[in-house]
Amino acid sequence: MTQAVLKSVQCISPAGLHSMAYKEWGDPQNPNVLVCVHGVTRVGDDFDRVARELCDVYRVICPDVVGRGRSGRLRDPQYYVIPQYVSDMVTLLARADAETVDWFGTSMGGLIGMGLASLPDNPIRRLLLNDIGPSLNASALARIGEYIGQDIRFATFDEAAQYIRTISATFGPHTDEEWHKLAADVLRQDAEGKWQRHYDLGLAVPFKSSTPEATAMAEHMLWAAYDAIRCPTLVVRGALSDLLLPEVAQAMTQRGPKANVVELPGVGHAPTFMHEDQIAVAKEFFLA
């Protein structure tokens, strides 16, 4: 069975250097590269199934965005923002020697992809946005910001896994085995043996310091970025999503790259692409 190779690259923020870990699948010399970037509290392991399905065609690169998983932590948490993540991805692509890439971004990973794809001379050839758009639903963002910053620890893995399953219910139906993987990928033990989530609680700082004015400005900038995108773009929306609203997805078909939209029934925020029917949507788009 195909195995991923774990690698890392050194990146820089205004607060200093940090490492970004990533998984690389497939032939390391393959110039056909797919970058898969996860949501705000997830990790690159989320794309294990997608990567196995596509690594015969692509070299698939799945980073842990800084502050999460195997990657380093920022000395100043105010830089846990999209421009920093875009900068880190440019460094990653230089390390990978990738001149052009296809991009699969879930939620935050989609915002990073939008930011990169909006720049002149950017390397993105095709862009899949998984349950994310340029409009920010304030109540959904508040919900995310609320649970990100909670320092919750559990005595047993099973308790921690049940918590992950509860807060991730909007991912839609999964088997017990799939839920176990979704939890195991984002849990680790602390020095006392308690189970906790794998990320820097400082991720919550930019959420908590945001104001309605700042959110409105960010949304204006995101739409401007979206309107600047020129590559073929697919928006995948969970039909029950509260983060990507139907009218926003509709607007995305009319503006910028005039994306196609595929809606997945019975799923909220965000589709996991662990199932054959969802993977088929990605394959059809990327391998067209």
* CA–CA dist 69, 12 (Å, integer): 18
Distance of CA 185 to the CA centre of its chain: 14
- Average pLDDT of the chain is 95
Task: Work out the pLDDT band at 141, boundaries 50, 70, 90.
Answer: confident
pTM equals 0.97
Alpha carbons 256 and 27: distance in angstroms, whole number: 34
**Can you tell me the distance from the alpha carbon of 162 to that of 11, in angstroms, rounded to the nearest whole number?**
34
Coil vs helix vs strand at 235:
strand
The whole-number pLDDT of residue 3 equals 87
Who's near 175: CB < 8 A, 6+ residues apart? none
Best CA proximity match to 246, nearest among 145, 130, 131:
131
- Residue 96's pLDDT is what? 96
